Structures are given as C-alpha cells and as structure tokens.
Amino acid sequence: RPVVTRPETKTIDMNSRSNTLADRDIVASDQIFGFLGLGMMGSTIVKDLIYTGHKVVVWNRTIDKCQPFVEAGAEVKDTPMDVVEAADIIFCCVSDPKGAKDLVFGNCGVLQLKDLRNKAYVEMSTIDPDTSLDIGEGIKQCNGRYLEAQIHGSRQEAAEGMLIILAGGDRSVFEECHSCFKTIAKNTFFLGNVGNACKVNLILQTILGVSLVGLAEALALADRFSISLNDIIDIFDLTSMKSPLLLAKGKEMAKGDFNPQQPLSHMQRDLRLVLNMAENLDQSMPVTSITNEVFKHTKRLGYSEHDSSAVFVRSRF
C-alpha cells in the first residue's frame, strides 16, 4: 500500500482572472444573486461574478470561507434561508445530492421561507435527475421557479471561465442568468425539462470515467515493460485518438502529479449516480460498473481528494 500524502489545500486567489473575461463584454444583470456553497467551484464562480459587477449574497457551511468574499464586496448570511430572503436568484453548488437536498429541505433550508414568489433557485451541484425533480417540485410548491444548471468542466476550466452549462427547467430563469453564465462558461445549453441536464452531465462523466481507467491501465502496462510513459504520450499525441483531456491526464499520470482538477471522490460519486440511473432502466453497463469499482478501490487507497487521474496509482499494483 503506497504512502499517500493529501493534496495541498488551495485557497482561492481573489485577484486571478481568466484571460477571456475581459473580451466577453458582460453587462451584469441588476438582480441580486444568492450563492450557497463556496468550495473550489463555488468560490471561483462567485469571484468572477463579483468581478463582472453582479450583486452577490453568499453562505457557506464553513463560515471562514466567506471572509475573502466580504472583502470583495459580497454580503454574507447566516443560513441558506437568509440568502433566499435577500436574493432574487439563488445558486447552489455543493458536493453531492445529499448536501443539495439538505440545503433545500433541511433546517434553515430554502423551503423554510414558505413563499418563494419572485424567487428562482438554480441547482449547480452535480445531482441525479430524481434529486433534481424532488428539489424542483419543492421549489414549485412554494411558488418559486427552478432551473438545474449542471456545470461540466474541471476546476481549471472554471478558473478560465470555460465551463459548459447544461440547463433544464424554467426557461425564464435560464434567460435571467444570462450574464452569470456568460461570465463563467464558454457554452450554455438549454435542454428542456428538469432532469435532462442531469442526465446529459452524467452521460458525459461516464465517457470521462471509462476513458481515464482505460488510459491508466494502458500506461500501467507500458510501465511494466519499462517503456517511457512520456514516449507513449508523445506518440499518442500524433494519433487520431488524442484528446486534450486525455493528453493532460496522461501527463499527470506520468509525472505522478494528482493536483485535484476534478477530485476522484466526485468522479466515483458520478459513476454511482450513473449506475443507479441505469439500474432503474434495466440498462446493462458492465464497463461502467467495473470502472466504478476501480475508482472505489482507489478511494480506499486514500486518493479521494486527489485528481481522478490518481486512478493510475491503483492500476500500477
């Protein structure tokens, strides 16, 4: 069993800007935007929203993470419910479906306000379609509007304003979020009803997860033959199989640099959600099942917080 050092905890650099932001010609909406969840993704998004002139009210479970945003001009609230009271459109960006549901249905959660008329709720946390339908229904029952806006991309892509937004639900909310989405994403898709965007996001994650395990196994085999991994990557780059992401992940595997761009725990969470969806449809996904087991095992080895490319470590055993 390898000795695993935890990846360095990064704090957000409030002064960094993506190169593309200045060229985007963003006219900030004058609505007040609430933001629940200041993890790596949430922080990066809120920092850019403030920079492009949006009025932002924030909350995070660990309150210390709010401080840099106060200094940058955001208002901080004590509970999710307080954020909803103060804002017109509320974004949520937390780790998983359970966290996303807690913030809506839990103590001091969004629905404690009871009357959400003139409010809109936008779910950015990666969740499954059923969770999104439940959240959407809860918001609707209190007369609010709901949009799922799944963010596809790594932390680096978030820092560069190059995410892809996959949205489903209330089209008017989608349109009212235009200046926010333009700030953080290179492309935005409206995919119809609630649930559709979650499905598309998880389908894309399936492609990514399966590809990473294939890449890791192939590089581990090369390593057993003592073939230089850098040579394999250079040759791979010349083939029609190459993709920017697989090249980048291959280089990380070769270097053993697993700085979390997309944490391994998030990848395994996504595969679990995919398999639950497939189970409900009796859809057979044998390769995805094995891929999930591989990520699960790598988690047990201590690589939850590392990048998904750390799956290479397990393949080398």
Q: Site residues (CB under 6 A) for ligand NA7?
A: 37-42, 60-62, 65, 93-95, 99, 102-103, 125-126, 151, 155, 266
Is 97 or 250 the residue whose CB approaches ligand NA7 more closely?
97
CB of 99: closest distance to ligand NA7 in angstroms? 3
298 and 313 in contact (C-beta within 8 Å)? yes
Helices (H), 113-195: 129-141, 155-159, 171-176, 178-184
Burial 241-259 (b: 16+ CB within 10 A, else e): eeeebbeebbebbbeeebe
Cβ atoms 33, 55 nearer than 8 A: yes
**8 A C-beta contact, residue 267 and residue 314:** no
* CA–CA dist 141, 307 (Å, integer): 39
Toward ligand NA7, which CB reaches closer, 110 or 139?
110
User: How far apart are CB 64 and ligand NA7 at their closest, in Å?
Assistant: 9
Nearer to ligand NA7, 109 or 250 (CB): 109
Shortest Cβ 220–ligand NA7 spacing (Å) = 27
Q: Which residue, 59 or 219, has its beta carbon nearer to ligand NA7?
A: 59
Residue-wise burial string across 165-190, b where 16 or more C-beta atoms lie within 10 A, e elsewhere: bbbbbbeebbebbebbbbbbbbebbb
Closest separation in Å from C-beta 31 to ligand NA7: 22
95 vs 289, beta carbon nearer ligand NA7? 95
Between 77 and 220, CB nearer to ligand NA7: 77
Beta strand segments in 22-104, E? 32-36, 55-59, 75-76, 89-92
Cβ distance to ligand NA7 smaller for residue 170 or 307: 307
From the CB of 233, what's the least distance to ligand NA7, in Å?
Answer: 26
Smallest separation, CB 136 to ligand NA7 (Å): 17
263: left (phi over 0), alpha (psi -120 to 50) or beta: beta
C-beta of 23: minimal distance to ligand NA7 in Å?
A: 25
| Residue whose CB is less far from ligand NA7, 31 or 95 | 95
* Residue closer to ligand NA7 (CB basis): 51 or 59: 59
Residue nearest to ligand NA7 (CB): 39
Give the whole-angstrom CA distance, residue 36 versus residue 59. Answer: 5
* CB of residue 207 to ligand NA7, shortest distance in Å: 16
Q: How far apart are the first and last CA of the chain?
A: 9
Q: Hey, which residues does 163 pair with through a beta bridge?
A: 185
Strands 145-152 and 163-169: antiparallel
Residue type, 279: E
Least separation in angstroms between CB 180 and ligand NA7: 15
Please tell me the distance from the alpha carbon of residue 12 to that of residue 38, in angstroms, as a whole number.
10
Report the DSSP pairing between strands 75-76 and 120-123: unpaired
